[in-house]
């Protein structure tokens, strides 16, 4: 039986976290044993414990750059890998991957797999910052034995990196069958008959929820439901209040997509940067009209003739082949 150690920076519930959860809980139990190491605690850790998956908190691992914390998290990961002695270390999220790849190599791990959940150098930053992030991403890929890209868009970018092309494999994210709720909580929050534009995602710069608030400001007939939590909640609340949109734009906090999708008339995803968003797969599976920016892997979902390539079973099978 192969032991797989997944490593991820945060254990909130974003796309990368769901990816780790889906793999860790759906691997063939006869062939694989999963464990997950993570930094900041959150819903992922809670769900893993409930599912009986071994977890290893890395207390010093955090998203923000901090030389002392990064050095500490490197040694925490290194000694964890020595102790657990996994056959495969599967790295996710940029910070954990960069530190984890070096730790895994020095610990003598036989196979290091890195999943790029949308290359971070596509984020809107200064040119020097993007160049530095590209270099770190390349070094992470270089130290890995296999690089999984979740969209063909990012796979093409990876294949152009020096010494990386033969390591790259594209495996789409996938979703299983959904049992949709009635979306009543969405409908009850707006006037009867309102046409609701909804979005789901972490409240951050990349998800660009403020674009929907600005659109509602320009269109007095537009009603917007924003589902998710994150660092920009206070800023988005202030913007809604500034424009006097409290009756037409509402923040609902975190809710599972399956519970709310039927409460939307249109699903919107105004992201500035994406990998291959689960929520868009779910919106399409729910049969909703979709308005989305064509960034990252989004066009690959919107233009797909069917959902065959985007099933959970296919994602797990293809990933097990990489291990």
Q: pLDDT tens digits for 45-89?
A: 999 999 999 999 998 887 666 677 888 999 999 999 999 999 999
**Domain shared by 102 and 209, yes or no:** no
Please check whether residue 234 lies inside any domain of the structure: yes
Same domain, 206 and 228: yes
Residues 232 and 132 in one domain: no
Domain termination site, one of 131, 146, 170: 170
Distance CA 130, CA 115 (A): 19
Domain presence at residue 116: yes
Angle between helix 15-26 and helix 43-50 axes, rounded to 10 deg: 10
- Same domain? 103 vs 199: no
Residue 124 lies in a domain: yes
27, pLDDT greater than 80? yes
Residue 260 has a pLDDT of 96
The pLDDT value recorded for residue 66 is 67
DSSP 11: -
Number of structural domains found in the chain: 2
pLDDT digits over 159-213, tens only?
Answer: 999 999 999 999 999 999 999 999 999 999 999 999 999 999 999 999 999 999 9
Contact, 22 vs 92, CB < 8 A? no
Asked if residue 26 belongs to a domain, the reply is yes
User: d(Cα 57, Cα 63) in Å, to the nearest integer?
Assistant: 14
The verdict on residue 320 lying in a domain is no
151 and 199, same structural domain? Answer: no
Same domain, 61 and 127: yes
In a domain, residue 315? The reply is no
Q: Are 44 and 70 in contact (CB under 8 A)?
A: no
What pLDDT is recorded for position 125?
A: 86
pTM assigned to the model: 0.93
Rounded percentage of the chain residues whose pLDDT exceeds 70: 99
Are residues 37 and 121 both part of a single domain? Answer: yes
130: domain CATH number is 3.40.50.2000
Render pLDDT for 256-272 as a digit per residue (tens, 0 to 9): 999 999 999 999 999 99
State the average pLDDT for the chain. Answer: 94
Q: What is the pLDDT of residue 261?
A: 97
Q: What is the maximum span of the chain, computed from C-alpha positions, in angstroms?
A: 62
Q: Do residues 24 and 48 lie in contact, with contact meaning Cβ atoms separated by under 8 Å?
A: yes
Q: Do both 33 and 147 map to the same domain? A: yes
Q: Which domain range does residue 223 map to?
A: 184-307
CA 284 from centroid of its chain's CA atoms: 18
- Same domain (yes/no): 35, 143: yes
What's the pLDDT score for residue 194?
95
Whether 198 and 158 map to the same domain: the answer is: no
| 144 and 188 share one domain | no
Residues 163 and 188 in one domain: no
Contacts of residue 272, Cβ cutoff 8 Å, sequence gap at least 6: 123, 124, 205, 206, 207, 208, 293, 295
């Amino acid at each position: 039986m192969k032991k797989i150690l997944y490593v991820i920076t945060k254990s909130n519930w974003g796309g990368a976290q769901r990816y780790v959860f889906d793999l860790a809980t759906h691997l063939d139990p006869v062939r694989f044993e999963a464990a997950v190491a993570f930094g900041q605690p959150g819903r992922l850790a809670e769900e893993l414990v409930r599912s009986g998956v071994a977890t290893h908190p890395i207390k010093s691992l955090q998203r923000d750059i901090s030389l002392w914390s990064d050095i500490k998290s490197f040694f925490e990961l290194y000694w964890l890998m020595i102790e657990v002695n996994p056959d495969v270390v599967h790295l996710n999220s940029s910070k954990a991957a960069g530190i984890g790849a070096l730790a895994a190599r020095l610990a003598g791990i036989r196979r290091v797999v890195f999943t790029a959940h949308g290359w971070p150098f596509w984020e809107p930053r200064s040119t020097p910052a993007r160049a530095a992030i590209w270099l770190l991403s390349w070094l992470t890929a270089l130290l890995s034995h296999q690089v999984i890209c979740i969209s063909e868009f990012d796979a093409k970018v990876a294949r152009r990196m020096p010494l990386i092309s033969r390591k790259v494999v594209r495996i789409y994210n996938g979703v299983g069958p959904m049992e949709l709720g009635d979306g009543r909580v969405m409908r009850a929050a707006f006037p009867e008959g309102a046409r609701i534009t909804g979005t789901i995602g972490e409240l951050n710069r990349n998800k660009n929820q403020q674009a929907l608030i600005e659109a509602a400001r320009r269109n007095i007939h537009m009603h917007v439901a924003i589902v998710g939590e994150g660092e920009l909640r206070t800023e988005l609340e202030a913007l809604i209040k500034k424009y006097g949109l409290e009756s037409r734009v509402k923040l609902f906090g975190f809710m599972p997509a399956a519970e709310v999708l039927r409460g939307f008339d249109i699903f919107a995803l105004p992201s500035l940067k994406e990998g291959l968003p689960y929520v868009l797969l779910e919106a399409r599976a729910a049969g909703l009209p979709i308005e989305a920016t064509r960034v990252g892997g989004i066009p690959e979902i919107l233009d797909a003739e069917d959902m065959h390539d985007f099933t959970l079973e296919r994602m797990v099978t293809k990933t097990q082949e990489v291990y």
